Structure 1
Amino acid sequence: MDSAPIPATSHNKAALAFIFVTVMLDMLAFGIIIPVLPHLVVQLIGGSIAQAAVWTSGFATLYMLMQFVFSPVQGTLSDRFGRRTVILISSLGLGVDFIVMAITPVLWLLLIGRGISGICAASFSTANAYIADIVPKEKRAAAFGALGAAFGVGFIVGPALGGFLGHYSVRLPFWVAAALSLANFCYGFFVLPESLPPERRTKRFDWSHANPFGALVLLRRYPQVFALATVFFLINLAQFSLNATYVLYTDYRYGWGPQAVGYTLAFVGLCSGLVQAVLVRQLMPKLGERRMIMIGLPLCVVGYLLFGLSSVSWLFLLGIPFLCMGGLAGPPAQALMTQQVDPHEQGRLQGALTSLASLAGIFGPALFANLFALFISDHAPAHLPGIAFVLAALLLIGAAVIASYAIRHVHIAPHPASSTKNAVAALAGELSPLAGTVASEPLPTDQPESSP
Structure 2
Amino acid sequence: MKQRSPLLPIFLIVLVDVLGFTIVIPLLAYYAERFGASPLVATTLVSVYAVCSLISTPIIGNLSDKVGRRRMLLISQAGTLAGFLMLAWSHSLWMVFVGRILDGITAGNLSLAQAYISDHTKPENRAKAFGVIGVAFGIGFMFGPGLGGTLAEYGLHVPFLVAAGLSALSIFCTATLLKKETPPQEVAPSTGPMPAGRRPGAFDIATYGTYFKRPRLGSLYLQFFLFSFAFSCFTSGFALFAERRFSTHPALHRVPGEMCKLTVDEKLETSSALPGTILLDGQALAHGEWWIAGPKTIFVAYEPCQKLQSAQKLEAKFPWTAHEVGLQFMFTGFLGILLQGGLIGRLVKRFGEIRLVLAGFVAAAAAYVLLGFAFTVSMVLLVATISAFGNGVLRPVITSRITQVAGRHEQGVALGISGSLSSFAMMLAPPTGGALIDHQWLLGWALVPASVAAVGFIVALATPDGKSREPELSSPP
Partner of 1:262: 326
CA positional deviation for 1:288: 4.1
Partner of 1:241: 233
Equivalent-residue separation in structure 2 for 1:170 and 1:398 (angstroms): 38
Give the alignment partner of residue 455 of structure 2, picking from 385, 388, 398.
Answer: 398
Partner of 2:315: none
Q: Deviations over 1:53-96 (max 9, x none)?
A: 12212212211111221233334445666644443322222112
Question: Which moves more between the two structures, 239-248 or 76-85?
Answer: 76-85
Matched length: 385
Task: Between the two structures, name the one with larger relative contact order (CA 8 Å, sep ≥ 6).
Answer: 1
- The TM-score normalised by the length of structure 1 is 0.76
Question: Which moves more between the two structures, 67-76 or 244-253?
Answer: 67-76
Equivalent-residue separation in structure 2 for 1:143 and 1:298 (angstroms): 31
Q: 1:20 to 1:181 in 2, by over 3 A?
A: same
CA positional deviation for 1:281: 3.4
Equivalent-residue separation in structure 1 for 2:350 and 2:116 (angstroms): 27
- SS of the residue corresponding to residue 210 of structure 1 reads coil
- SS of the residue corresponding to residue 198 of structure 1 reads coil
Q: 5+ residue gaps in structure 1?
A: 1-8, 46-50, 203-207, 377-383, 414-452
Residue identity opposite 2:242 in structure 1: T
Q: 1:401 to 1:275 in 2, by over 3 A?
A: same
Q: 1:81 to 1:409 in 2, by over 3 A?
A: farther
Q: 1:399 to 1:72 in 2, by over 3 A?
A: farther
Q: 1:102 to 1:89 in 2, by over 3 A?
A: same
Equivalent-residue separation in structure 2 for 1:158 and 1:19 (angstroms): 18
- SS of the residue corresponding to residue 94 of structure 2 reads helix
Larger of the two Rg values belongs to structure: 2
CA positional deviation for 1:237: 0.6
Partner of 2:212: 220
Equivalent-residue separation in structure 2 for 1:41 and 1:408 (angstroms): 45
Question: Which moves more between the two structures, 218-227 or 52-61?
Answer: 218-227
Amino-acid identity (%): 28
Equivalent-residue separation in structure 2 for 1:153 and 1:143 (angstroms): 16
Equivalent-residue separation in structure 2 for 1:71 and 1:224 (angstroms): 26
Partner of 1:275: 339
* Mapping 1:371-386, distance limit 5 Å: 371-374=436-439, 376=440, 384-386=441-443
Give the alignment partner of residue 298 of structure 1, picking from 328, 350, 362.
Answer: 362
Question: Which moves more between the two structures, 120-129 or 89-98?
Answer: 120-129
- SS of the residue corresponding to residue 167 of structure 1 reads helix
Give the alignment partner of residue 22 of structure 1, picking from 13, 17, 22.
Answer: 13
Is residue 142–residue 332 contact of structure 2 (8 Å, CA) maintained in 1? yes
* Mapping 1:160-171, distance limit 5 Å: 160-171=146-157
Q: 1:182 to 1:406 in 2, by over 3 A?
A: farther
* Mapping 1:6-85, distance limit 5 Å: 11=4, 14-45=5-36, 51-78=37-64, 83-85=69-71
Give the alignment partner of residue 352 of structure 1, picking from 403, 417, 426.
Answer: 417
CA positional deviation for 1:235: 0.8
Is residue 83–residue 98 contact of structure 2 (8 Å, CA) maintained in 1? no
Work out whether 1:408 is the aligned partner of 2:465.
yes
Residue identity opposite 1:150 in structure 2: A
Partner of 2:190: 200
Q: 1:88 to 1:148 in 2, by over 3 A?
A: same
Residue identity opposite 1:408 in structure 2: D
Structure number with higher strand proportion: 2
CA positional deviation for 1:218: 5.6
Equivalent-residue separation in structure 2 for 1:250 and 1:192 (angstroms): 42
Is residue 122–residue 354 contact of structure 1 (8 Å, CA) maintained in 2? no
Equivalent-residue separation in structure 2 for 1:149 and 1:334 (angstroms): 16
Is residue 65–residue 358 contact of structure 1 (8 Å, CA) maintained in 2? yes
Structure number with higher helix proportion: 1
Partner of 1:445: none
Residue identity opposite 2:455 in structure 1: G
Work out whether 1:389 is the aligned partner of 2:446.
yes
Residue identity opposite 2:323 in structure 1: Q
Q: Deviations over 1:137-170 (max 9, x none)?
A: 7984x76665444323112211111111111111
Give the alignment partner of residue 329 of structure 1, picking from 374, 394, 397.
Answer: 394
Equivalent-residue separation in structure 1 for 2:409 and 2:67 (angstroms): 12
Q: 1:135 to 1:306 in 2, by over 3 A?
A: farther
Is residue 146–residue 326 contact of structure 2 (8 Å, CA) maintained in 1? yes
Partner of 2:435: 370
Equivalent-residue separation in structure 2 for 1:76 and 1:347 (angstroms): 13
Q: 1:131 to 1:307 in 2, by over 3 A?
A: farther
Partner of 2:222: 230
Partner of 2:274: none
Q: 1:85 to 1:399 in 2, by over 3 A?
A: farther
Give the alignment partner of residue 117 of structure 1, picking from 103, 107, 112.
Answer: 103
Partner of 1:314: 378
CA positional deviation for 1:274: 1.3
Equivalent-residue separation in structure 1 for 2:431 and 2:67 (angstroms): 36
CA positional deviation for 1:174: 0.7
* RMSD of aligned alpha carbons: 3.2
- SS of the residue corresponding to residue 60 of structure 1 reads helix
CA positional deviation for 1:239: 1.2
Is residue 61–residue 362 contact of structure 1 (8 Å, CA) maintained in 2? yes
Q: 5+ residue gaps in structure 2?
A: 193-198, 248-319, 471-477
Is residue 166–residue 173 contact of structure 1 (8 Å, CA) maintained in 2? yes
- SS of the residue corresponding to residue 381 of structure 2 reads helix
Is residue 30–residue 177 contact of structure 1 (8 Å, CA) maintained in 2? yes
Equivalent-residue separation in structure 1 for 2:50 and 2:136 (angstroms): 22
Equivalent-residue separation in structure 2 for 1:170 and 1:330 (angstroms): 31
Equivalent-residue separation in structure 1 for 2:404 and 2:69 (angstroms): 20
Residue identity opposite 1:251 in structure 2: E
